[in-house]
Structure 1
Amino acid sequence: MKRELITCLSALVLLTSCEHKKEEVAQKKSVCITDSLAKEIRIDTAKTTGMQDELTLSGEVSFDDNRVVKVFPFSSGQVTDVRVSLGDRVSKGQVLAIMRSADVAGSYTDLSATNADLSIAKRQLAQTEYLYKNGISSERDYTEAKENYNKAQAANRKIQEQLSINGHGSTSASGQYIIKAPESGYIVEKAVTAGSFIRNDNAASMFTISDMKDVWIWANVFESDIAKVKNGYAAKVTTLAYPGKVFKGKVNEVSSVLDPDNKVMKVKITLPNPGMLLKPEMFTSVIISNNEPTQSVTVPASSIIFNDSKNFVVIYQSKCSMEVREVNVIKTVDNVSYISSGLKAGEMLISKNQLLLYDALTEE
């Protein structure tokens, strides 16, 4: 009985050995690359590189706060006319809106009164100076006349400066107040319409002007991805408006707190805006790229063959010496696959039309 059992085990081992030999023969069967096929394939070399990662985020275009001019009125009143619309290109000195202001009218009334006071004080000073020099008036009277003249002059100058704050010719005695563009650019914010009342305690600007040469992208990062985004990481921005066009920038700022409403962290991406294509409030898709310190064997993603829930590559040694090998793919980023096992740096593999050779090497 024992002898029969040993005989059976020996036969099983022999059968298993034969099966393994059959697999090796199938794996290493004689397949050669012809001269015509050599022109259709591409041979690449596995390399060791830093592992790259990508994170896709949603974002929104905003103007660069460091390159804007906010237009505030210096007096209260009612807006009678608005000459520009949101998105308009304006030039420095261009009229943006017109107001009727009781404050402006009052300032001209004050200016008229101070002009009269100044004229009177000037005449009194001249008369007192004449009398003082001829010994008729006292030094005290002369000093008092000079002080009255200086006060009248200061009061007059104050009103003139108030009227000139918005530029020469922007106000009139009838109370008209003209708001002009202090710089050239685009109207990116507009908070007034004809008929609007501007109060003295109004802290909001009437217009915001930006040159739009650079823009900001505010992207949303979920809590689970916060560790994947840092200052200086490269960013690629795409929009629905320009399919296929990629805008490149960098992460410029990472918020220290989460948004209390939607529980996301905001990151700011700064990028140039050639042709003024990107507009404020435009939705974007953002891909953040970074190089991790971890090293990994990398191959072109095109070299990977996916079959039967496994990944394979065709290893090239010579025209008549190739083999199919299973590899473990960690991830694929930008047409590069990162390999954790099954391949060593320096080994050559076929990355174009390798499926033809894979079929020839694995067919039974």
Structure 2
Amino acid sequence: MKKTIYKAGILLVLTTSACHETKAPETTTKPFIISDSMAKMIAIDTVKNLFLTSTITLSGEVSFNENTINKVFPRSSGQVIECKVSLGDKVTQGQVLVIIRSADVAGSYADLTSANADINIAKRQLDNTQNLFTNGIASERELNEAKQNYEKAKAVKSKLESTLAINGGKNTNAGGTYTLNSPINGYIVEKKVNAGNFIRPDMGDYLFTISDLKDVWIYANVFEDDIAKVKEGNTAEVKTLAYPNKIFTGKIDKISEVLDPTSKALKIRIRLDNAGGLLKPEMFAKVIISNQENTQSLSLPTKALIDQDGKSFVVVYNSNTDLKIAEVTVIKTVGDKTYISGSVKDGDKLIVTNQLLVFQQLLNTTTP
């Protein structure tokens, strides 16, 4: 009897406890939707299937394009009286660069004066001989000699005038000075003369180099283990210390056939447009050469990646109401492109601006 009552008590307690047991709350999923205001804050880019690109980084320097420069030579020996420009100055076509006093120019003017006098004398002799010949006093031979002397005098004058024209023409004067003028619009990129310098006949060197700097050359050194990685036509990105956030893009247009005996490096040349005039000769440059490989892989903008807990993720965008997180594996990063494998495919759209904010919201869509 007592056992029966005891069992009944236990059953009653269990039944009572079961009646008061609280049910566990159900989890609810709140889908994340991009609002109209947030839609203005994000940017979308696309996954692409591209050939992998390898890069090498080289050191180089900016130089002027030697095909678009003018070297200004002295026309005659003498002494520099005044130099009107400095290294780096901008000059216009016809602008006076330097004034030179030359004994040769002064001598040419003196010879020209003498030649004019000889012409006048020869002309009078010719006229007199012509009159004598007409009156039967002078012979035909004497008339021909007078004509020849007159032509010779004119030839001497013509030669002296040509010499003066070569030495500057209207930019010379009888005092023996002449000017050198800029042949083009551009910049003084080399200057080898100052006031007071003497110019000797045996020098044979130029005084100025003028370049328009509309395009420049970048020379870079390639060491032996990287020679196979560079080819004419390869894309090159150039960065300078002066403009660290600006990238100049060009192509390799020439590769040397010999190595420098001192540095054991091969020199390559890259031509860059410099319409803005930002690049100056002798600037240090970092050159990144891109070379396309034969293997293809999915590529996405590097800025689309989200790194968390040692893994890489992207936010796939189908619409403002259809977004998902996808994990990817990074193969390699080349500049602003990253080659990946993972659960995305060619043509998928990714959020590339403020994607971390969207990523966190998607992680929080499931709340208790």
One-letter code of the match for 1:78?
Answer: Q
The equivalent of 2:265 in structure 1 is 264
Distance (Å, rounded) in 1 between the aligned partners of 2:223 and 2:295: 23
1:338 and 2:339 matched = yes
Paired residue type of 1:35? F
Q: Gaps (5+ residues) in structure 1?
A: 1-29
- Letter in structure 2 aligned against 1:296: S
Contact 1:185 1:211 in 2 (8 A): yes
Contact 1:83 1:95 in 2 (8 A): yes
Amino acid at match of 1:227: A
Q: Alpha-carbon deviation of 1:312?
A: 5.8
Task: Determine if contact 2:325/2:359 at 8 Å carries over to the other structure.
Answer: no
Q: Give secondary structure in 1 for the equivalent of 2:171.
A: coil
1:285 aligns with 2:292: no
How many residues are paired up?
327
| Partners of 1:276 and 1:346 in 2: CA distance | 40
Contact 2:32-2:361 within 8 A present in 1 as well: no
**1:193 offset after TM fit, Å?**
0.8
For 1:116-144, what per-residue CA distance to the aligned partner results, in whole angstroms no more than 9, with x for missing partners? 22222222222222222332222222222
Amino acid across the alignment from 1:188: V
What are the Cα deviations for residues 319-353 of structure 1, in whole angstroms up to 9, with x where unaligned?
A: 99x998784x44211333334x7678559798754
* Cα distance in structure 1, aligned partners of 2:157 and 2:350: 88
Q: CA deviation at 1:46?
A: 5.8
Q: Which structure 2 residues correspond to residues 1-20 of structure 1 after superposition, within 5 A?
A: none
Q: Distance in 1 between matches of 2:176 and 2:238?
A: 49
Which digits, 9 at most, give the CA deviation of each residue in 1:218-271, with x for residues without a partner? 222222222222222222222222231222222222222222222222222222
What is the CA-CA distance between 1:55 and the residue it aligns to?
A: 2.3
Tell me which residue corresponds to 2:297: 296
Residue identity (%): 51
Range that drifts further, 295-304 or 227-236: 295-304
Shift, 1:170, TM fit: 2.0
Distance in 2 (CA, whole Å) between partners of 1:323 and 1:88 is 58
The structural deviation recorded for 1:306 is 7.7
SS at match of 1:125: helix
* 1:260 counterpart letter in structure 2: P
Per the alignment, residue 123 of structure 2 pairs with 122
Contact 1:101 1:177 in 2 (8 A): yes
Match of 1:243 in 2: 244
Q: CA deviation at 1:162?
A: 0.9
Please say if 1:35 is aligned against 2:32. Answer: yes
Deviation at 1:84, TM superposition (A): 0.8
Normalization by structure 1: what TM-score?
A: 0.76
- Residue 107 (structure 1) shift: 1.3
Q: Decide whether the 8 Å contact of 2:298 with 2:346 is kept in 1.
A: no
CA contact (8 A) 2:32 2:362 kept: no
Given that 2:168 and 2:179 are in contact with CA atoms closer than 8 Å, whether structure 1 keeps it comes out as no
In the TM superposition, what is the alpha-carbon distance from 1:76 to its structure 2 partner? 0.6
Letter in 2 for 1:298: S
Change (3 A) 1:335 1:225: same
1:81 matched to 2:82? The reply is yes
1:70 Cα deviation (Å)? Answer: 1.4
Cα pair distance change 1:32/1:48, threshold 3 Å: farther
Deviation for aligned residue 1:199: 1.3
Cα distance in 2 between the residues matched to 1:347 and 1:53: 23
Mapped contact 1:92–1:183 kept (Cα < 8 A) = yes
User: Which residue in 2 is equivalent to 1:52?
Assistant: 53
Which protein has the larger Cα radius of gyration, Structure 1 or Structure 2? 2
TM-score by length of 2: 0.75
Give the superposition deviation at 1:153.
1.0
1:1-27 superposed Cα distances (whole Å, 9 cap, x missing partner): xxxxxxxxxxxxxxxxxxxxxxxxxxx
SS at match of 1:276: coil
Residue 64 of structure 1 aligns with which residue? 65
Q: Name 1:190's counterpart in structure 2.
A: 191
Distance in 2 (CA, whole Å) between partners of 1:167 and 1:72 is 12
